[in-house]
Structure 1
Amino acid sequence: MSSSFDKFQKRRLISSYFSVVLSIFLVLFLLGTLGLFIINSQKLADDFKEKIAMTVFFKNEATDAELKTFGDELKKAPFAKSSLYVTKDEAAKQHTDIIGEDFLTFLGENPLQNSYDIHFRAAYVERDSIAKIEKQLRENENISDIVYDKQLVNLVNDNIKKVSMWILIISCFLTFIAVLLINSSLRLSIYSNRFIIKTMQMVGATKSFIRKPFVMRSVRLGILGATLAIIGLMIMLFYVETNFPELEILANKTLIGLVFAAVMGVGILITWISTHFATQRFLNLRTDDLY
């Protein structure tokens, strides 16, 4: 009979530990995923900004030397990440490939112009910055026109600000939920041992002595849950890197390491604090209140 009861208690204890580790793992995995998204969101936003191109068209009177000089100036310009010179013949070929017909046979001459496609550095993809750059470029008398998607620039910057704000709100909300979930799981685990706590207190054990094994056990569970969360995050990172290499999600290993360290730190800190206060609560209860 005693053996059956001991087995039942052991199974219940294992089940309690499992639920605590599982809740810690799930919560920390979500927080870690959010952290990785945050550190990569700026890079993703910058990559998208740098794909927006400005096309500068030149008058037919512009000489090859003048076009080359403009290209050399772009290489030195702080706002230009890259530039591509497209001759009028190359532009005609591109248009022919797109429409599927050689439009030059109908027109008899090439109406297109030599141009430069300029990709900006992310910091300069702002409404005011691009407007200043455009004004500066138009001072060149050889330039006939400058074309870029102004609405897209405004839309990108406005949406990035909105997304950043919502990421901050969601981060705070998830952190709060994480603390509540882990705290609730640990409180239930301590609740099942409330009679043991009170018995130890009645035989003269100090509060710190009673608290220590419960806190240490919870911290070990927190470390286990955080370790599983880090393993899960590593698997997710390698999956994303394998299937979407253009994102270069593993490029900044230092920040990724900081996220992993933060996941481990949060797992230890929350379990330590939650267990400390949960144990303290039962230590302060009267024996009659335990029931």
Structure 2
Amino acid sequence: MATSFDSFQKRRLRSSYASVVISIALVLFMIGILGLVLLKSTKVANHFKEEVVMSLFLKDDVTKEKTKGLRESLLKEEFTKKIYFISKEDAAKVYSKDLGEDFLQFLGDNPLKNGIDLYLKAEYVTPEKMDELKQRFNKNAFIDDVSYNKPLVEQLTKNIQRISFWLLVLSGFFSLVAIILINSSIRLSIYAKRFNIKTMQMVGATKSFIRRPFIWQSIKLGFIAAIIALIGLAFIVYYLDKYIPTLDLIKDYLSLGYVVGGVILISFLITWLSTFFATQRFLNLQTNDLYY
């Protein structure tokens, strides 16, 4: 009879552990997906920002040597992502192609100017910083005019700020849900052992001694759940990279490293804190209160 009861208790304990692992794994999987979305959204936003071009039109009397010196100085600037020199002849060919006819035949002379297309780093593509750069370039003796699509930059900045705000709200909400769900799962597993906790306390065991095995057990369950969540994320990353290769997920080792490290760290912190406070609660209860 005792053997049958012990077997039943072991099955019940394994079932409890399995439910805790599955609950934590699902929550960590959700957090991992959200982390990927946040990291890739930043990269996508930066990609679009760095495609905005600022055109610097040079004065007609600027020589090749001066142009070369200007290009070299621009490449040394911290705001420069890349630059392209476009001669007036190349610009005329592009315009003629867009118009569908050679406009130089009517004008006789090329009114266009040599120019430099300047692509900025993402953090400098804001209305304020681009306006500052425009004012700075307008004071340059070699530059005749500066042009960029200001409405596009303003709209791009506004949309990115709006999306970033809602992503942060969403991540905050999911983080709160994750903490509540993991905490509830661990509290339920410890609730089943509340009498064992009180018995150990009554025979003289210290609170830290009682807590220690529960904390280590929860951390191990959390680590197993993190491994399961990461395996699920690996499948998601593989299929996304297969069907949407432009995201370049598999080769983005930095983002993947952040996600893996974040999932493991979160599993450790939440399981440790939840177990600590759950055991502390039962340690502070009176024996009669354990039945409620």
Question: TM-score by structure 1 length?
Answer: 0.76
Corresponding position of 1:184 = 184
Corresponding position of 1:31 = 31
AA matched with 2:267: G
1:78–1:224 distance in 2 versus 1, CA, 3 Å: closer
Corresponding position of 1:223 = 223
Separation (CA, whole Å) in 2 of partners of 1:7 and 1:93: 84
Separation (CA, whole Å) in 2 of partners of 1:142 and 1:266: 55
AA matched with 2:19: S
AA matched with 1:88: K
AA matched with 1:87: S
Q: Deviations over 1:174-232 (max 9, x none)?
A: 3222211011111222233445555x459836364554443332222111112222334
- 5 Å-filtered alignment, 1:79-94, equals 79-94=79-94
1:156–1:113 distance in 2 versus 1, CA, 3 Å: same
Corresponding position of 2:57 = 57
Separation (CA, whole Å) in 2 of partners of 1:131 and 1:105: 33
- 5 Å-filtered alignment, 1:143-222, equals 143-197=143-197, 200-201=199-200, 204=203, 206=205, 208=207, 210-222=210-222
* 1:107 pairs with 2:131: no
- Check the 8 A contact 1:57/1:144 in 2, yes or no: yes
- Check the 8 A contact 2:240/2:249 in 1, yes or no: no
The alignment partner of 2:56 has SS state of strand
- Unaligned 5+ segments in structure 2 are none
Separation (CA, whole Å) in 2 of partners of 1:279 and 1:8: 24
Separation (CA, whole Å) in 1 of partners of 2:251 and 2:219: 30
- Check the 8 A contact 2:237/2:249 in 1, yes or no: no
Deviation at 1:63, TM superposition (A): 5.0
- Check the 8 A contact 1:237/1:250 in 2, yes or no: no
The alignment partner of 1:206 has SS state of coil
Q: State the superposition RMSD in angstroms.
A: 3.7
Deviation at 1:118, TM superposition (A): 1.2
- Check the 8 A contact 1:194/1:290 in 2, yes or no: no
- Check the 8 A contact 2:201/2:210 in 1, yes or no: no
- Check the 8 A contact 2:54/2:147 in 1, yes or no: yes
Deviation at 1:275, TM superposition (A): 2.6
Deviation at 1:148, TM superposition (A): 0.8
1:81–1:282 distance in 2 versus 1, CA, 3 Å: closer
Deviation at 1:271, TM superposition (A): 1.8
Deviation at 1:140, TM superposition (A): 4.9
Separation (CA, whole Å) in 1 of partners of 2:125 and 2:187: 51
Separation (CA, whole Å) in 2 of partners of 1:164 and 1:147: 28
- 5 Å-filtered alignment, 1:241-280, equals 243-244=244-245, 250-251=251-252, 253=254, 256-257=256-257, 259-280=259-280
Q: Kindly tell me the number of residue pairs found equivalent between the two proteins.
A: 288
Deviation at 1:30, TM superposition (A): 2.7
Deviation at 1:149, TM superposition (A): 0.8
Identity %: 40
Separation (CA, whole Å) in 2 of partners of 1:248 and 1:189: 37
Q: Deviations over 1:146-194 (max 9, x none)?
A: 3211122223333444444444443333322221101111122223344
Separation (CA, whole Å) in 2 of partners of 1:246 and 1:77: 29
The alignment partner of 1:13 has SS state of helix
- Unaligned 5+ segments in structure 1 are none
Q: Deviations over 1:21-52 (max 9, x none)?
A: 12211222333344455455554433322211
1:95–1:207 distance in 2 versus 1, CA, 3 Å: same
